[in-house]
Amino acid sequence: MFRWKATAATIAIAALALTGCAGGSEDGSGGGTSGGTLTLGAITPPTTFDPAGSEWGNRSPFYQAVFDTLLLATPEGTIEPWLATEWSYNDDNTELTLTLRDDVTFSDGSSLTGQVVVDNLQRFKEGTSPDASYFAGVTSFAAPDDTTVVITLGAPDPAMLNYLTRDPGLVASGESLSNDDLATDPIGSGPYVLDAAATVTGTSYTYTKNPDYWNPDVQHYDKLVINVLQDATASLNAIKAGEANGVKLANNDNLTEVEGAGWTVNANELDFQGLLLLDRAGTMNPALADVRVRQALNYAFDREGLLEALQLGNGTVTTQVFPAGSAAYDADLDDYYSYDPEKAKELLAEAGYADGFTLSMPSSTVLGATTYTLIEQQLADIGVTAEYTDPGNNFIADMLAPKFPAAFMALEQNPDWQLIQFMVAPTAIFNPFHSEDPKVNEYIEQIQFGDEATQASVAKELNTYLVEQAWFAPFYRVQGSFATDANTTVEPLPTNAYPAIYDFQPKQ
C-alpha cells in the first residue's frame, strides 16, 4: 500500500469489512449525542503507535485521539497554541523557543516537561516515520527548564510551525518511551485513551474519554471507535446501515448514495492529480529537457473532460501545484494552459519532435485503468506515445529510484515551504532527478531567509515560474470527501486529509 502523504494514504488495495455494529450513542441507537460514542471510519490503520514511527494524513485520527501535538492546525488554516502556549523565533529564524503548558499530565500520571518534549522530538528525528526528514535541518533540541523547549536549526525552515501540528509534534509520556509495548499501548496526554482490550489491530480501535484531560472543552464524546474501512463498498454499507457517524470516503464514486442516506458530504481540496514531469534535464528522456515539450504536454490534456470522466466533476481544474490556501496561489494559473492539441503539436515541432516521441511511465491498477487509457489517448492525439510499465507494489519506490522520466500521480498540496521541500527543492523526495534551475534556487533562498512579506511575494513568483517552465502537468485538484450523519458535524482541515478529532461534534 502506498503511504506517501494524503492521497497515497487514501489508495486502498485490500478490503476489510466493518467489524461489529457501532452506533453513535452508548445505547446503540445511532447518531452522535453529547457524552455518547463517536464512531468513525478510516481507510488505513496505523502501522505503529510509537510516535517515532507515526504518520499523518489518513492515519492522523488514531494518533490525535491519544496524543497531543505541540501546536494545533485549525479548519480556518491557522496555527494555534496547544501543548505549547507561545512561540517565538530569534532574529535570523534559526532558533524557535516554545513555552509549554504547566498543567498537562499523561494518562500514566506523569507530567509534561520540557525534557519529555525534547526526548520525543529527538526520537522522531531519529525514528522510522516517513516524515522524519522534517527535522533534517534541526541541529539540536534543548529544554532550559520544565516549561521551555528550544529548537535550533542550521538554517531557517518556514514550515517548522506547521510540522509541529502534525506527527513530528506528537508527544508521548516520557516514562513510556522505553516501554516494550509502546507500539501497541500508547501513553499520551490526549483527549482519549486507547482501550487495548476492545481493540482489534488493523480492524477496529476503541478509545475511552481521558478523565484528566487538560482541555475538556474539546472532549465531545465519552467514547471513540475508529473502524478501518479500506474498501469503498464497506464504507457505503456502514453509512447505509447507520454503523458510523463519520466516514472518510476513498473516492467520490458514491456521493449520490451517501447524500441519499441523509448524510452530509464535507469537502476540501487537498490533493492534485496529474503528470509529474520529473526528468527536466533530459537525462533519461532528452525531450523533457526542452521547456516547449513540457509545455506541449500541458496543452495536450482536456482537464475538464478528465475531471468529469475520472472524478465525476468533483474537483477543480488547475495547472498549478500550490493549493488555493497558500501564499503562492494565483487563481489565474488554474487555467494557464488551455486544452489545445494543435498548439501542443506546434511546440513539439519547434522543439524538433514533429514526429513525436515515446514517454515511459509507471502504471498501477490501484490508480485506475481508465486514468491511464485517457492519458494515453490524449498524448497520442499530439503524437506522443505513452509506454506503461506496472511495477506492482514498487510503484512509489521505482518512481523515486528514479526509473521513469514522468509519472501520473496524486499528491498532497502542502503549504508553501512544505510543498517546496516536498516537490521542488533539489533534495525534495518528489524531485528524484534532483532537478535544479538557478532561478528556482534563487526563489527558494529568498523564501527561506526572507521575512513573511518576502516569503509570500516570492512564493507567488516561484509558482508562476514553475507553471511557465512546465515543471509539472497538473490536471485538477480532487475533492476530498468526509461524510457525516445527520447527528454529527465536522469542519475539514485545509492541510490534512482527515479532520481533527476535536472538530467532531454532536448536533445540538
Euclidean distance between CA atoms 96 and 54, whole angstroms: 23
User: 455 pLDDT band (50/70/90 cuts)?
Assistant: very high
My answer on whether 225 and 365 are in the same domain is: no
Q: What percent of the chain has pLDDT over 90?
A: 89
My answer on whether 472 and 498 are in the same domain is: no
Average pLDDT over residues 37-46: 96
My answer on whether 345 and 368 are in the same domain is: yes
Average pLDDT over the chain, rounded to whole?
92
Average pLDDT over residues 28-39: 62
Query: What pLDDT digit, counting tens, does each position of 405-453 carry?
Result: 999 999 989 889 999 999 999 999 999 999 999 999 999 999 999 999 9
| Residue 384 β-bridge partners | 357
User: 17 pLDDT band (50/70/90 cuts)?
Assistant: very low
Long-range contacts of 447-456 (CB under 8 A, 24+ apart): 447/158, 447/416, 447/417, 447/420, 448/155, 448/156, 448/157, 448/158, 448/417, 449/93, 449/155, 449/156, 455/158, 455/327, 455/416, 455/417, 456/327
For 330, other C-beta atoms within 10 Å of its C-beta total 16
My answer on whether 182 and 309 are in the same domain is: no
Q: Which CATH number goes with the domain that contains 316?
A: 3.10.105.10
| CB contact at 8 A, 473 and 294 | yes
Query: What pLDDT digit, counting tens, does each position of 242-298 carry?
Result: 999 999 998 899 999 999 999 999 999 999 999 999 999 999 999 999 999 999 999
Number of domains in the chain: 2
Higher pLDDT, 485 or 19: 485
Query: What pLDDT digit, counting tens, does each position of 368-386 carry?
Result: 889 999 999 999 999 999 9
pTM value is: 0.87
My answer on whether 388 and 429 are in the same domain is: yes
My answer on whether 386 and 462 are in the same domain is: yes
Is the bond preceding residue 323 a cis peptide, omega within 30 degrees? no
Query: What pLDDT digit, counting tens, does each position of 290-330 carry?
Result: 999 999 999 999 999 999 999 999 999 999 999 998 999 99
My answer on whether 138 and 253 are in the same domain is: yes
C-alpha cell at 486: 445527520
CB within 8 A of 109, min separation 6: which ones?
none
User: 365 pLDDT band (50/70/90 cuts)?
Assistant: confident
Q: What pLDDT sits at residue 34?
A: 59
My answer on whether 253 and 284 are in the same domain is: no
Amino acid of residue 484? T
Euclidean distance between CA atoms 302 and 287, whole angstroms: 22
My answer on whether 182 and 298 are in the same domain is: no
Q: Which CATH number goes with the domain that contains 151?
A: 3.40.190.10
Query: What pLDDT digit, counting tens, does each position of 214-236 carry?
Result: 999 999 999 999 999 988 899 99
My answer on whether 298 and 325 are in the same domain is: yes
My answer on whether 23 and 105 are in the same domain is: yes
My answer on whether 48 and 197 are in the same domain is: yes
**In which domain, by residue range, is 144 found?**
5-263+485-506
